[in-house]
Structure 1
Amino acid sequence: RHPSETDERMMMRVLAFIRHASDSLTFGKGIAADDEPDLWQKDLTGAIMLWIEVGLPDEKRILKACGRAEQVVIYTYNSNSAIWWNQIGSRIDRAKNLTVINIASATSIALSKLSQRNMQLQCTVQDGQIWVTANDETVEIDFVTLKAVQAR
């Protein structure tokens, strides 16, 4: 975890990890590096299969990721998401391998309240729905798809 990373952002990275769980999914350097995503999955040759960003990346970063990875997923989560999407949505529409998912601000804030130094999370994933529990508090996650991968 980068020292400047908020609890809310960290929990969004954890949520993305839960949703895309795989043996080869790893955390990248994220905000500490311009050339790595928050999470990524590579195949045995080193090719990037999945590039996951959390937050509101700029157009240049998104298109660069789409050129480097087979699939790119962005998770937006704060109150500025709608403004960001209105500004950038049409400019990144040409990225056929891009999915953009929004998490309601209230949900990301509720998740951030579960964050503790030595937290133990319990996650339930069923039929595309996720529930995250810690310390007898449960947060239900609703995913709103702003942009889906386009058929080739």
Structure 2
Amino acid sequence: MALAATIFKADVDLSDIDRHYYQHHTLTLARHPSETSERMMVRLLAFLQHADEQLKFTKGLSETSEPDLWLKDLTGRTRVWIEVGMPDARRLTQASGRADQVVVYAYGRQAQLWWKQTEKAVARLANLSVYLLPTGFTQVLAEMVERSMRVVCSIQDGQLYLASGEKTVDVDILSCRVRQTAS
């Protein structure tokens, strides 16, 4: 018998001053049995960075043909394809052909090495942005996990501040960006 996903609820107040986006989101996060708390919280972080009424969590690890999150317009066209982790260059190339913008949030001890090995293979992808998140930051995110979370997030001048319960964490998200989508 296969293990079922664990359901987490996140009640989020988001103030993204950089994008002039101020919204309350009630999110349901399904954590796949093989997914860590750290990965799930990086998915939440990705949502917060790109928050929009059309941005959706996908089946993620359960469906290999989908990203972790995507934003589709009303015609079904994929505007933003968001990957969490360290996808291979082939997957990023395919995503680049299917979406207007592809964003990767890589984390963990091997993220720097992954990027060093992948960078050349994806150099021609003009619509790809990559963020390498600091390990200490993502570990604190993982410590924030509760089945029902109340999260406050503010983003200003590239600085992301997150609070949940007694824990707080912040990161200069712009300093984590190692590759930016060409304009």
TM-score range, shorter chain: over 0.9
Instruction: Tell me the SS of whatever aligns to 1:36.
Output: coil
Compare the two structures and name the one with the higher strand fraction: 2
2:153 corresponds to which of 123, 134, 140: 123
- Which aligned segments of 4 or more residues in structure 1 are displaced greater than 3 angstroms? none
Give 5+ residue unaligned stretches, structure 2: 1-29
Aligned partners of 1:26 and 1:40 also within 8 Å: yes
Q: Which has the higher contact order (CA 8 A, sep 6+)?
A: 2
Instruction: Tell me the SS of whatever aligns to 1:130.
Output: strand
- The sequence identity of aligned pairs, in percent, is 42
CA distance in structure 1 between the aligned counterparts of 2:71 and 2:171, rounded to whole angstroms: 23
Count residues in correspondence. Answer: 151
2:133 corresponds to which of 103, 116, 119: 103
CA distance in structure 2 between the aligned counterparts of 1:89 and 1:105, rounded to whole angstroms: 20
Instruction: Tell me the SS of whatever aligns to 1:121.
Output: strand
CA distance in structure 1 between the aligned counterparts of 2:74 and 2:129, rounded to whole angstroms: 24
Equivalent in the alignment of 1:6: 36
Deviations 1:50-98 (A, max 9, x none): 0000000011111010000000000011110011011110110110000
Aligned pairs for 1:23-102 (under 5 A) are 23-102=53-132
What TM-score comes out, normalization by structure 1 length? 0.96
2:179 corresponds to which of 137, 147, 152: 147
Give 5+ residue unaligned stretches, structure 1: none
